Structures are given as structure tokens and as C-alpha cells.
């Protein structure tokens, strides 16, 4: 897994609620696009016109957001389908951190598995961030530039606004900071898994007689 | 020594039974009893594990079937696109190499993965069931603890038969009273989603309780649990009861003889204890429940068939005002208008929500002796090969065909369009599936979610109609 420690980058405001993973990446792209090319199709229904040209109203097509590394979204971001390609697509746009009041649970875990840091913040705080980012223009990228520090669990918003504390569940934080491999971590517990399965085979044999 | 045990919920009993280790407070390493695999990426996940040099830890606990990308045209042999056959073959090849049971096209057992699990007796009360698909919550209908996972988590389960998981809180959704004529499980759960919203269940495991839930057949309970994820809950459950045991008995991988008695004795201990505490509760009175249908692009944008489409100006906050006006624009609808009478182009009866035999029987009863409106193209896609055969044995396919609906082969089909079966841009479809997202059934497609009865009636009328007047 790719490590995430701290990131200073432009943050893009994307203030929509209930953005589902179908909207982030269409299912037919999931099946046949190599992982490293998934970013090309991220948000394609709202990013491109029918002729393939960029739509100006998509946030990443406006300065200073073209270089965004942080995504600030509305509630329930990444709801719906479990497709992990949604995270690959967002990461393929250069986004390494997503901030929202709430997330689809499966999407949230998929982010962590791919070194993308998801941060839950109170809706009022997210709205303040969105308002602040709305002040940034082509010549004022500093008004959209923030620092997210996972070690300190702190966000430094643009323009000297007060720092925002956030919390990430301990195991997920460690995995992100160290770039840990969860399968290797669990395989260290093989003896415990063996013992558990032995007990279960005795207690609930019908589960195993398949 | 007697240890007093606090009353526990169905959820807590199953979760606790599957904890191998507490990793940190609130996060447990859970054992996975059943891992279900399908054709959209699961073969790849198996390949990735193989490339790491790891064996599947318990291939005997895995069950695979192609569903997402198989074509459903009668006489099909695989997918429509060449890449589809590549993925289906990868699932076959990896399953064969690892010794995973696979129910292939044309075989008994093949079907939508969330139809297959219960049907073959793989899904049992008290088991943990995981699958790389968000509608895995469906299996909770049998009293299993089931949830969807991503691609990397899938590899973790294949390699270790476990998954680290944060323990969710519990939400009790209590449905009182009995269902009025013309309504069913789909209307119950759409009403719930309308009430608590698309994020209202996030972080919760839902347990569905109450007389109206008990009165549902197992297929209805699957419909109910299936839509749990549409309010954000990864897990939805119904406590097992006599109806559950009757439904499971005799299925291919269900326990038999003495083992059956042993299993049932255990399953009887699973329902929530009297006095068990839930973190949150919602009560819905079914007495006045109307058939429900979505008007927008989120399952929370749903109303009774006798209601008007809401006006964005009346939205409770700015975020919803924006969401409602965007949804109306996409759907080609105006706020303040009745939803009934809206002309439709397509009807889809199928999906892991509503493709089981009782769903098809109810739809068939609506269309019997009638004709689909000339401007409507209507499809019926049974959930599994067995359902297809059973429906045909009852003559349901003839009822559908005589009315002008297409009777197709089992698969996910137009619910998700992964196989290329799509609703055209700008076309309006009444669908028995689970998601009305922008572009879900195809770019520009306009989806209205409803019950099989409502979808069948729309096909005949050529418009959204109140099935209670049928």
C-alpha cells in the first residue's frame, strides 16, 4: 500500500450530496480499463461532453483546481456500489485525500486500502471549507492550498484559518502512515485463525460440511 | 458459577461468535464462513492472490457464479463483448485451479450471486457471508451477517478467510401492522429509505423487526435486506424463524439429518433477546403504506404513488434543493406534478432485489391476459437458472410472452448494465432493481424504482400507475 503521511496541495470543492460510485466510474470502464488508466474515466458523465471535450463546469477544469490533490465533497460521498475502481479513478486524477461529512462505508475502506486518506468532518466544518475554497481563483491558488497531516491528525486550511483536528481509526492510520500490507499483517495471526477454525469445526460442523 | 449475560441482539450474537481477535478496541478480525464470487473482478482477485504465491485458505467455503456480465438473451453462451468472455473464463479458470465450487451458465445454481447463495443453501443463519458486491446485505434475510467488500478486501478474505472490520452500531427498523393490498417488501424498504435518507443507515447494521416483517416470505425478506445499503447500511438482517428453516431445508449445501437438528437448535438461539438494546430505532406503521416509487436519482428521492413530485423550493436545506433540482432536470420531471401518469419507455423486472419466483408470480398476475403498451419494451430476467426453470414449469414465461414481455436468461442484466444491456439515453424505465443513480442503467437513462407489481402495471399501462387500482 502507498504511504500517506502529510500532503500540501490544492483542494477542489465538490459540494454535491450522495455522489455514488457509479457516477465516479461507470461500470463498463471497471471491467476493461487497466487500473493505472482509470483516472481517464473518472466522473466521465459530468467531465466531458459527448464529443469528448472538457466541460468547463467540472471543478478540475477550472484554475486553480487542475492540480488538486485533495477533494472536498458533500455528505455520503462514494455511496452505492462496492467497486474499488472508484478509488483508483479518483487517485488517477491525482487526488490523495478526500474530505466529507460522511462516506459510503465500503468506499471509505477501499480508500484506505489504496493509500487514499478519507477524512470525516462535521458538516458545518466541511461547508466552511467549501466556502473558503470558493474564494480561490486562477491567480490565487494559495486560497485553495491546504495541508493535511495524518501524523498530527490536523488540517491547516487555506489563508491562515484555524487548524482543524480530525481522527482516523488507529489501525487505518497506522496502515496509511507505514504503507502496511494488511494481508501480511493478518497472516502473522495464522495460528489464531487455525485455532479458531478448529473450534468452529467442532461447534458448528454444518458450516464446514460443504 | 453462573455468568449473567446481558441481552444481546441477533447482530451481536453472530458478530461475537466470529471474532478471532480484537485488533484494537472497536475493530475485530472476523472469520468469514462464506465467500461468494462473481464474474466482475473476482477471478482477477483470485489471480492476484495466486501471483503473490498464496493459496486460497479455504476454497471449500467459496461459491462462485457468473452473473454481472453474462448476456441474458435466450440462447446465450457467455457475454456480449469479447472482454466479458475473458472475465468469465478467468473466474472459471481460477475457480477450477483453486477448487472453488462454480455454478456455470446453464447449470442449476447459476444466477445472480445474491440469489445463488441462499438458493444452493450456502447462506445459512448465523454465518458470516462476504462478497465483492454491495448488495451482499441481501443474505441477512436468512439471519446471516453479510456485507459487501472491495477488491483488495476480497483478496484479504481469499488469502486469510478473515477480514479486519470495525463493529457497526445497531439500528432497529420496526414495521408494525399488516401490509395493505398492492404493497410489499419493496414498498416497506423504500418507505424506510425515504424516511431516514440515503445516509441514515451509514455505520449501522439494521435489524428488521415487527409483524409485517415476520409475515413476509423469505424472498420478501431478501428484498427488504437487499436495499439496506441504499440507506448506507452495509448490513441488514432478519432473525431466523420457522419460515427460514422450512425455506432452507433440503437445499444442496444445507445440513441434513442429525446435523440439521443440531443446526436448527443453534439457529433458535440467534434471535435478539428480550430487552436487547439497539443504538437507534425507527418505527414504520404499514397500515397506511402506499406503493412507493422513486422520482429522482437517489433511492431517498421516493414518494407514494398517490403523491406529487416534490418542488425544490420546498426542500429542507440548500444541499437538497440543489440535489432535487439536478435530479428533476436529469429525470425530465417537474416538481409539483403527480408521479402517476408519467409515460414510460422501458420496464425491467429482475435484479438481486426482485427476481425471485414470488416476485415473478406477482408480476405475472398483473400482466396475465393483457398486452404491454405498444411504445414500451419490457423485460423479465429471472434471478437464477433454477428460478427460470421453476417459473417455466408454472407457465409464467408463457404469461409474460403472451403479454408481450421478453422472457430472458438469468443474470444481473439491466440493473447495472455491466453486460451491455442498457436503457437508452433519455428513456424512462420502471425497474424492480435497487439503484436509480445517474447513468446507472445506461448514460442518460431515467430509472424509477418500484415493486414487481408496479413495474408490471407500468408495462401494460405505458405509464406509471397505481397498482391498487388494477
For A115: left if phi > 0, alpha if psi spans -120 to 50, otherwise beta; the answer is left
B432 pLDDT above the threshold of 60: yes
CB < 8 Å from A in window 330-369 of B: none
pLDDT in tens, B107-147: 999 999 999 999 999 999 999 999 999 999 999 999 999 99
B1 pLDDT above the threshold of 60: no
CATH label of the domain that carries residue A73: 3.20.19.10
Collect all residues of chain B within an 8 Å Cβ-Cβ radius of residue A80.
134, 229, 435, 437
Contacting residues for B434 by C-beta, under 8 A, at least 6 apart: B135, B226, B227, B229, B230, B299, B351, B352, B353, B415, B449
Strand, coil or helix: B205: strand
Can you tell me the mean pLDDT for B62-80? 95
Cell 438458493 -> residue = B119
Q: Is B23 on the interface with A (CB under 8 A)?
A: yes
Can you tell me the mean pLDDT for B423-443? 98
Residue count of chain B, please give it.
470
The answer to whether position A114 is within a domain reads: yes
Predicted confidence band of residue A1 (pLDDT cuts 50, 70, 90)? confident
Strand, coil or helix: B172: strand
Predicted confidence band of residue B447 (pLDDT cuts 50, 70, 90)? very high
- Compare CB distances from A22 to B41, B61, B437 and report the shortest one's residue: B437
Q: In B332-423, which ranges are E strands?
A: 346-349, 377-380, 406-407
Query: How many domains would you assign to chain A?
Result: 1
Cell 391476459 -> residue = B369
Domain B16-166 = CATH 3.30.1490.20: no
pLDDT value at residue A197: 98
Q: Is A74 on the interface with B (CB under 8 A)?
A: yes
Cell numbers placing A71: 477533494
pLDDT in tens, B174-216: 999 999 999 999 999 999 999 999 999 999 999 999 999 999 9
Strand pairing category for B162-166 and B235-237: unpaired
Could you count the other beta carbons within 10 Å of the beta carbon of residue B341? 11
pLDDT in tens, A19-46: 999 999 999 899 889 999 999 999 999 9
Predicted confidence band of residue B2 (pLDDT cuts 50, 70, 90)? low
What is the domain partition of chain B in residue ranges? 16-166, 292-469
Q: Is B234 on the interface with A (CB under 8 A)?
A: yes
Can you tell me the mean pLDDT for B88-112? 98
CA-to-CA distance for A169 and B26, rounded, in angstroms? 9
CA-based nearest distance B203→chain A, Å: 7
- Threshold 0.90, pTM exceeds: yes
HEC string for B96-125: HHHCCEECCCCCCCCECHHHHHHHCCCCCC
Predicted confidence band of residue B378 (pLDDT cuts 50, 70, 90)? very high
The answer to whether position A144 is within a domain reads: yes
The answer to whether position A201 is within a domain reads: no
Mean pLDDT of chain A: 97
ipTM of this complex > 0.95?
Answer: yes
Q: Do domains B16-166 and B292-469 have the same CATH topology?
A: yes
Torsion of CA B104, B109, B111, B115, to 10 degrees: -150
Can you tell me the mean pLDDT for B440-465? 98
- Compare CB distances from B21 to A85, A189, A205 and report the shortest one's residue: A189
Given a contact cutoff of 8 angstroms between Cβ atoms, the answer to whether B364 and B392 are in contact is no
CB < 8 Å from A in window 394-433 of B: 416-418, 420
Given a contact cutoff of 8 angstroms between Cβ atoms, the answer to whether B328 and B334 are in contact is yes
The answer to whether position A209 is within a domain reads: no
CA-to-CA distance for B88 and B362, rounded, in angstroms? 32
Mean pLDDT of chain B: 97
Range of the domain at A89: 6-179
pLDDT value at residue B3: 60
CA-to-CA distance for B41 and B26, rounded, in angstroms? 30
pLDDT value at residue B81: 86
CATH no. for B292-469: 3.30.499.10
pLDDT in tens, A90-124: 999 999 999 999 999 999 999 999 999 999 999 99
CB < 8 Å from B in window 38-67 of A: 45
Amino acid at each position: 500500500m502507498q504511504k500517506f503521511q502529510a500532503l500540501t496541495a490544492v483542494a477542489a470543492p465538490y459540494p454535491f450530496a450522495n455522489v455514488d460510485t457509479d457516477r465516479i466510474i461507470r461500470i463498463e470502464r471497471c471491467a476493461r480499463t487497466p487500473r493505472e488508466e482509470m483516472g481517464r474515466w473518472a466522473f466521465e458523465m459530468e467531465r466531458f461532453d459527448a464529443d469528448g471535450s472538457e466541460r468547463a463546469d467540472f471543478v478540475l477544469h477550472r484554475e486553480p483546481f487542475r492540480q488538486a490533490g485533495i477533494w472536498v465533497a458533500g455528505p455520503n460521498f462514494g455511496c452505492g456500489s462496492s467497486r474499488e475502481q472508484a478509488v483508483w479513478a479518483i487517485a488517477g486524477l491525482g487526488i490523495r485525500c478526500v474530505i466529507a461529512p460522511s462516506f459510503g462505508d465500503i468506499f471509505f475502506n477501499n480508500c484506505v486500502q489504496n493509500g487514499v486518506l478519507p477524512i470525516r468532518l462535521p458538516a458545518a466544518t466541511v461547508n466552511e471549507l467549501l466556502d473558503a475554497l470558493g474564494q480561490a481563483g486562477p491567480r490565487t491558488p494559495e486560497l485553495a492550498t491546504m495541508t493535511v497531516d495524518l501524523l498530527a491528525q490536523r488540517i491547516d486550511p487555506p489563508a491562515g484559518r484555524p487548524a482543524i483536528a480530525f481522527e482516523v481509526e488507529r489501525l487505518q492510520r497506522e496502515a496509511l502512515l507505514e504503507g502496511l500490507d494488511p494481508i501480511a499483517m493478518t497472516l502473522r495471526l495464522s495460528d489464531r485463525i487455525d485455532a479458531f477454525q478448529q473450534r468452529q469445526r467442532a461447534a458448528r460442523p454444518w458450516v464446514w460440511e460443504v | 458459577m453462573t455468568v449473567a449475560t446481558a441481552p444481546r441482539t441477533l447482530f451481536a450474537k453472530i458478530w461475537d461468535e466470529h471474532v478471532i481477535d480484537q485488533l484494537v478496541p472497536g475493530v475485530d478480525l472476523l472469520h468469514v464462513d462464506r465467500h461468494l464470487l462473481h464474474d466482475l473482478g473476482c477471478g482477477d482477485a483470485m489471480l492476484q492472490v495466486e501471483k503473490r504465491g498464496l493459496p486460497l485458505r479455504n476454497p471449500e467455503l467459496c461459491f462462485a457464479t457468473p452473473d454481472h456480465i453474462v448476456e441474458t438473451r435466450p440462447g446465450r453462451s457467455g457475454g456480449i463483448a469479447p472482454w466479458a468472455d475473458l472475465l468469465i473464463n478467468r473466474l472459471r479458470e481460477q475457480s477450477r485451479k483453486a477448487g472453488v465450487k462454480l455454478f456455470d451458465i446453464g447449470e442449476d445454481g447459476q444466477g445472480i450471486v445474491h440469489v445463488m447463495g441462499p438458493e444452493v443453501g450456502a447462506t445459512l443463519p448465523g454465518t458470516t457471508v462476504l462478497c465483492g458486491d454491495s448488495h451482499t446485505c441481501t443474505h441477512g434475510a436468512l439471519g446471516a451477517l453479510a456485507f459487501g467488500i472491495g477488491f483488495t478486501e476480497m483478496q484479504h478474505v481469499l488469502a486469510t478467510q478473515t477480514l479486519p472490520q470495525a463493529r457497526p452500531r445497531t439500528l432497529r427498523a420496526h414495521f408494525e401492522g399488516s401490509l395493505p393490498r398492492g404493497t410489499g417488501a419493496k414498498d416497506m424498504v423504500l418507505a424506510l429509505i425515504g424516511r431516514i435518507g440515503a445516509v441514515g443507515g451509514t455505520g449501522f447494521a439494521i435489524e428488521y423487526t415487527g409483524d409485517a416483517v415476520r409475515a413476509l416470505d423469505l424472498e420478501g425478506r431478501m428484498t427488504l435486506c437487499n436495499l439496506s445499503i441504499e440507506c448506507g447500511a452495509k448490513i441488514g438482517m432478519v432473525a431466523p424463524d420457522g419460515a427460514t428453516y422450512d425455506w432452507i431445508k433440503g437445499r444442496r449445501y444445507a445440513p441434513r439429518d442429525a446435523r440439521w437438528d443440531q443446526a436448527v437448535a443453534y439457529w433458535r438461539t440467534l434471535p435478539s433477546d428480550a430487552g436487547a438494546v439497539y443504538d437507534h430505532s425507527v418505527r414504520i406503521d404499514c397500515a397506511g403504506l402506499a406503493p412507493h416509487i422513486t422520482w429522482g436519482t437517489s433511492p431517498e428521492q421516493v414518494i407514494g404513488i398517490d403523491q406529487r413530485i416534490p418542488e425544490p423550493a420546498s426542500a429542507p436545506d440548500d444541499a437538497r434543493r440543489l440535489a432535487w433540482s439536478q435530479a428533476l432536470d436529469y429525470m425530465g420531471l417537474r416538481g409539483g406534478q403527480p408521479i402517476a401518469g408519467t409515460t414510460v419507455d422501458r420496464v425491467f423486472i429482475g435484479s438481486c432485489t426482485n427476481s425471485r419466483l414470488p416476485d415473478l408470480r406477482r408480476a405475472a398476475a398483473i400482466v396475465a391476459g393483457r398486452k404491454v403498451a405498444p411504445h414500451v419494451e419490457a423485460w423479465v430476467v429471472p434471478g437464477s437458472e433454477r428460478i427460470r426453470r421453476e417459473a417455466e414449469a408454472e407457465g409464467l414465461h408463457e404469461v409474460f410472452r403472451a403479454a408481450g414481455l421478453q422472457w430472458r436468461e438469468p443474470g444481473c442484466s439491466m440493473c447495472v448494465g455491466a453486460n451491455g444491456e442498457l436503457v437508452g439515453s433519455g428513456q424512462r424505465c420502471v425497474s424492480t432493481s435497487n439503484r436509480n443513480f445517474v447513468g446507472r442503467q445506461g448514460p442518460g437513462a431515467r430509472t424509477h424504482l418500484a415493486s414487481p407489481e408496479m413495474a408490471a402495471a407500468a408495462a401494460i399501462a405505458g405509464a406509471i400507475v397505481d397498482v391498487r387500482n388494477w
